[in-house]
């Protein structure tokens, strides 16, 4: 399965050794290069959360062999959610009657649909958080030399 949304190409890659691996690749663009719509994150603390992979490893993964891709040291989506440099609680916590500190945060597996991010978060970061929440490894291709 493969589809495109919010500047990412979402793929479920099937491999006998790794099973169904969920990968979201940054879609390159003419003005953003290999960063695509995530160019605003280049050079920031968020840059390290988007794994850089070789085009050869990605090509092999698309053909059914995910081992080279997984050996490139991809960051676990759950780990990215936990280490993300942002406030993890809901921005509506003070005024919400059903707020529960242990549930209403980005790192909880059953975050409620009403969860609201803080307003100062860029759109590209919201897309990253959403992809990680869905269990996708977020990658971009390494620039060819």
DSSP secondary structure string, 67-82? HHHHTTTPPPHHHHHH
Quickly tell me which residue has 């940054």 as its tokens.
26
CA dihedral 107, 82, 140, 23 (to 10 degrees): -50
pTM for the complete prediction? 0.86
| pLDDT, tens only, 105-138 | 877 777 777 777 777 788 899 899 889 989 999 9
126 and 20 Cβ atoms separated by less than 8 Å = no
Provide the pLDDT confidence category of residue 47 given band limits of 50, 70 and 90: very high
Q: What is the distance between the alpha carbons of residues 134 and 55, in angstroms, rounded to a whole number?
A: 24
The residues, any chain, with a CB within 8 Å of residue 16's CB and separated by 6 or more, are none
The yes-or-no verdict on residue 145 having pLDDT over 70 is no
Q: What is the mean pLDDT of the chain?
A: 88
β-partners of residue 23 are 11, 137
Q: What is the distance between the alpha carbons of residues 84 and 98, in angstroms, rounded to a whole number?
A: 25
Q: Where are the domains of the chain?
A: 2-84+134-141
| pLDDT, tens only, 71-109 | 998 999 989 988 988 877 888 888 888 888 878 887 777
DSSP state, residue 136: P
């Amino acid at each position: 399965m493969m589809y495109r949304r919010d500047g990412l190409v979402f793929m479920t890659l099937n491999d006998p050794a790794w099973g169904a691996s969920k990968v979201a690749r940054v879609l390159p663009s003419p003005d953003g290069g290999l960063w695509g719509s995530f160019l605003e994150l280049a050079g920031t603390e968020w840059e390290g959360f988007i794994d850089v992979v070789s085009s050869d490893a990605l090509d092999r993964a698309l053909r059914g062999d995910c081992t080279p891709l997984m050996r490139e040291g991809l960051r676990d989506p759950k780990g990215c959610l936990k280490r993300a440099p942002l406030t993890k609680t809901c921005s509506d916590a003070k005024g919400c009657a059903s707020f529960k500190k242990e549930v209403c945060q980005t790192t909880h597996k059953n975050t409620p649909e009403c969860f609201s991010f803080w307003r100062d978060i860029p759109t590209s970061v919201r897309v990253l958080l959403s992809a990680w929440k869905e269990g996708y490894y977020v990658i971009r291709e390494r620039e060819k030399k």
